[in-house]
Structure formats: C-alpha cells, structure tokens
Structure 1
Amino acid sequence: ELLERLDVVVVSVHSKLRMDPAPMTRRLEAAVRHPRADVLGHCTGRLLDGRGRPESRFDAERVFAACAEAGTAVEINCRPERRDPPLRLLRAAEAAGTLFAIDTDAHAPGQLDWQRSGCARAEECGVPADRVVTTWSAERLLEWAG
C-alpha cells in the first residue's frame, strides 16, 4: 500500500550483505523486477572508509540484465565512502543497457555538492545523459516511475 503512494521507489539491500552470490543474485533480481521498483540503490553495499565493508557478491550480468529488462535504473551513488557501483560494475551496467539515477545519498545540504563526482564517474564510463533518469524533466521522470 505504501509503495503505491510513492513517486519513486529505490530498492536496496540493507541486511545479510555477505550472503553467498547465488542467493544474493536471486534476491537482487526479485527486487529490481518488483512492479513498483524504480531504482536499484548502492548495489554492492560497500563502504570504503573507516572499517569499511566489502562488496556484496552477485552475478552482475544477471542483475543488470534484469534491471534493463524491467526498466529499473541503477543508482550511481556519489557518497564518497560508497562510490557504488565501482567503475567495473558501472561499465557492466552501461553495457547491459540499464537506466541510471545519479544520487548524492546526502544527509545534509552541503553534501549535495557530491553530485559532480557521480556525474564524472558516469561520464568516465560512457553513460549517455539520456539514460540518466535524474537528468529528465519532472514530468518525464514521474511518467517513467508511474
């Protein structure tokens, strides 16, 4: 019920990040194929700072193919301690033909400046601007997400 009331729905793994690759792949595929899912958030769950956290392991080719098929965008997370997905996976998602959403994951106004780094990563990996849903007009974005 709640998902029906939201304009854009981001699906992200926030638990059991170290599960084996096969069940993680199935879990991610199910999430991105959910009819209300719009964006796959921080797909590896990695953290680069502090104690850090390794990337979740999954079959990226299958997950990104599911994203492309379902029309679910892959988030390019600009948060410095995330920078998720890593460049090799960002390139794989681009090659799979997915859409993208560049997102600061900001927790304070000053962190909105991180957007530039996400745009630079997208450009470095050859992501065309027309496949970045966060470059679209609000009308087009809401139509896509609806």
Structure 2
Amino acid sequence: MADSVEVVVEPLGPYGPSVLRAGGELVYEIYIASGHADRVERLPISERHAQVLRTDAKRYWFLFTALHDPYQLTETRLSADRLSEYLDTILLAEPAVVEAFLTDLDHGSANGALSNLLRIFVDADRERMREGHWFDAIPTP
C-alpha cells in the first residue's frame, strides 16, 4: 500500500511548487523545466519552512525561482547543506539578507535567470530585482 500524500501548501499558480506531507515527511515539490527532460523534484523541508511558504507569497516565489535554476541540470543540483542554506536564507532571513542572496545568485551563475523567471511567473519588475530590490519588485494583489 502506497503512503498517503497530503497537500500542505497549494501551488500559487500554474507550475508553482507545493508542499506535501508524504510518508510522514514534508517535501517541497517543484516542477523543473529542463528542455526535453522536464521533471518534478521533491526536496525535504521543515515545518518552519512550510509555515513561511504558506503565509508569504513573495518568499514562496523567491524560493521557487532560486531552486529552479540549479535543479535544471544534474551537475548543478544542490548538496543537502547548500539546499539548507537556500531554504534558511530565503525563507527565514531578514529581507536585506534575502535580497543580497538572490542578487548574488542572479548576477552570478544564474546569469539573470532568477529575475527573468519571476518576471514571467508573477510579472515582477526585472530591473528592480537586478538592482537588488526583490521584495518591492513583486506587485502586491
């Protein structure tokens, strides 16, 4: 008999990630578009992380865009320690720390992919993000 799966955080939009309780463990389920090998990744998260994803739409989308890039290729998948750093920084750190982290990623190895993905998914202001103002770049409903 398969383990039951409970949706803890619903996707906020098409292709948006969700949080599931599967086999008693919380997992962050993200759809990864990777050319001909699109797939779903399930990454372990904590209750504390799930609570932020449930209540903070901006951080929800920041995590999605930050994780999408490294999981597109097997060679760039995050180690457990690096995944923990992404989760703790994006979901739990002060806004200035989050913005610096995302800006460094976007200007570095992601080569603008983070800000571009947020522009596509939530109509965020790409220039504001490229300048380091991530929280202000996403329109509030």
When normalised by structure 2's length, the TM-score is 0.30
Higher helix share: 2
Q: Which has the bigger relative contact order, CA under 8 A and spacing at least 6?
A: 1
When normalised by structure 1's length, the TM-score is 0.29
Higher strand share: 2
